[in-house]
Amino acid sequence: MEHAFFVVQDYQVAAVVIFAPSAVIKIAFIGTIANVIVATTSQRILSMRNSFGLLMTSQSTAEIAFCAIFAFYFSPMVFFSNEVLKGISHRFGMVLLMCYDICIFSHLFIALNRMCAICLPWKYDRYFSRNRTKILIVICWFVSITRCLISYGYNDCDLVYEGSIWAYLFTVTEQCKFISKYLDFYKDVILTTLIAIIDLITVIKVRTTRKQLRQPGGESSRRKKEINFLKQAILQGLVFAIELFTYFYLSLHVQNRWLIFACTTVAWNLVHCTDALIVIVFNSEFRKLLASPRNIFKSVIYGQTTASTAMDHSVSKH
């Protein structure tokens, strides 16, 4: 009986860690709220009514679904050790993978958006018009959903809940070994590397053309935007890279189940929670919104364009 008592305590603590914010980490529940704020307000902020804002809204929508699954399905399932919910974990596992793919492809399009705004400003409105951006979003969602339906619906492969470590794991089959290695891990590594390269090119271009963009009284403001852009790009790329390392590599080399839990479930949630938090921190409009919550209900939220809104592409055209 004593052993059973401590087992119950362990999985209940694991559930609470995922649902509720702690002193060290803020995960699924805060991730859901933060992404809801970004998704529901970005198109009402004037400076976000562009291609960048649409892409960010699409990404945040997928992250809402991801974080909400962990907050309102995963946590109750683990806390109450509900066998019915465990029996359908593979269904939710597929949705989680769809959301993850949508997010990482959205990051790629956002990186291309920023690079085009800086390197090819005269073609920005052509390549990233609202209609073309909507097409990119549809492609992003269609490819991600279709890929996961084929990989995990048609093939002998699932992402299922493993109760001994409170984490989602791929089933051990030959097909799943191939899919998880090449269609998930390697794909994510390639995309994360590509995003980092694109952002590096953008940052270098910003630095080399800074003197050309210098205007009286505007240097300090533009310098701040450059730094904000650099910080946001580095942080988002770093978070994804760390998550890939901990989930696919580090978790395989630790034995303690709490460490495995931290390397998989916690790390996976942190990616999608911090994504929204980074956007809020580095965009003054969102910070002002949180300072005056009543603005959430306004149809239009006024604000100045920031570094994150394609790095002031309109200014770059001069």
CATH of the domain at 94: 1.20.1070.10
Range with lowest mean pLDDT among 2-16, 54-68, 111-125: 2-16
- pLDDT of 83 above 60: yes
Neighbours of 244 (CB within 10 A): 20
Q: Are the C-beta atoms of 51 and 310 separated by less than 8 Å? A: yes
Task: State how many domains the chain has.
Answer: 1
| Percent with pLDDT over 90 in the chain | 47
H/E/C letters for each residue in the chain? CHHHHHHHHHHHHHHHHHHCCCCCCCCHHHHHHHHHHHHHHHHHEHHHCCHHHHHHHHHHHHHHHHHHHHHHHHHHHHHHCCHHHHHCHHHHHHHHHHHHHHHHHHHHHHHHHHHHHHHCHHHHHHHCCHHHHHHHHHHHHHHHHHHHHHHHHHCCCCEEEECCCCEEEECCCHHHHHHHHHHHHHHHHHHHHHHHHHHHHHHHHHHHCCCCCCCCCCHHHHHHHHHHHHHHHHHHHHHHHHHHHHHHCHHHHCCCHHHHHHHHHHHHHHHHHHHHHHHHHCCHHHHHHHHCHHHHHCCCECCCCCCCCCCCHHHHCC
Among 64-73, 214-223, 255-264, 267-276, the range scoring the smallest mean pLDDT is: 214-223
Q: Which domain holds residue 123?
A: 2-316
Confidence of residue 46 (pLDDT cuts 50, 70, 90): confident
Mean pLDDT of the chain: 83
Q: What is the residue whose two structure tokens read 């996976």? A: 268
Mean pLDDT of the region 119-136: 93
Q: Which of 64-78, 103-117, 147-161, 303-317 has the lowest mean pLDDT?
A: 303-317
Question: Given this model, what pLDDT does residue 81 score?
Answer: 85
Confidence check: pLDDT of 2 > 50: no
- State residue 12's pLDDT score: 63
Rounded average pLDDT over 125-138: 95
Rounded to an integer, the average pLDDT of 270-279 is 92
Per-residue model confidence as pLDDT tens digits over 204-249 = 888 787 655 555 555 556 666 667 777 787 888 889 889 989 998 9
Strands 167-170 and 159-162: antiparallel
CA–CA distance from 48 to each of 88, 232, 295, 314 (Å)?
38, 16, 15, 13
Residue 171's pLDDT band, with cuts at 50, 70 and 90, is very high
